[in-house]
Structure 1
Amino acid sequence: MAKPVRAALGDVWITCVVCRGDLFRDREVKLNSTGMELFNFAWANESATGLICWNCGYVHLFANKDIELYKVKKGDG
């Protein structure tokens, strides 16, 4: 089972644009392009950090590599 994380870009904490929640599940998401898929170069596509809202499930994508993820300590969620 995935553990919740909080996320920030610099000193700005990220909240869900739908429900304003601040807990997320994270995963890497490939940003596939048709041309790269056509020539079997999908492995070379750029990736993004996907943050899935723990509360409502809305998926946020961040191509910015400066995003920081922070594990939520037990009892802090």
Structure 2
Amino acid sequence: MAKSVHAAIGEHPIHCLMCDNDTFRKREVKLNSTGMELFDLAWANESATGLICQSCGYVHLFVNRDLRFNRARG
């Protein structure tokens, strides 16, 4: 199972938009486009950081590279 993290952009902690939880699982998500898929170039699509809420499962996507992570306890 993936480790839980707390996330922030600068001094602003991130909370789930649905349930206000502050612990997430982190993973890279490809932002596939139809055109790139059509030409078999999906590997060249941009990626984002996906934060999956540990409480409700809502997925938040960020392309901001200034995200900071701290391991959540527990």
Stretches of structure 2 that go unaligned for 5 or more consecutive residues are: none
Matches within 5 A, 1:21-60: 21-60=21-60
- Deviation sequence 1:12-58 (CA, Å, 0-9, x none): 00000000000000100000000111111100100000000000000
Question: In the alignment, which residue of structure 2 is the partner of 1:63?
Answer: 63
Q: Quick one: distance in 1 between partners of 2:12 and 2:61?
A: 16
Overall identity of the aligned pairs, in %: 65
TM normalised by structure 2 equals 0.95
List structure 1 segments (4+ residues) > 4 angstroms apart after TM superposition. none
C-alpha RMSD of matched pairs (Å):
0.8
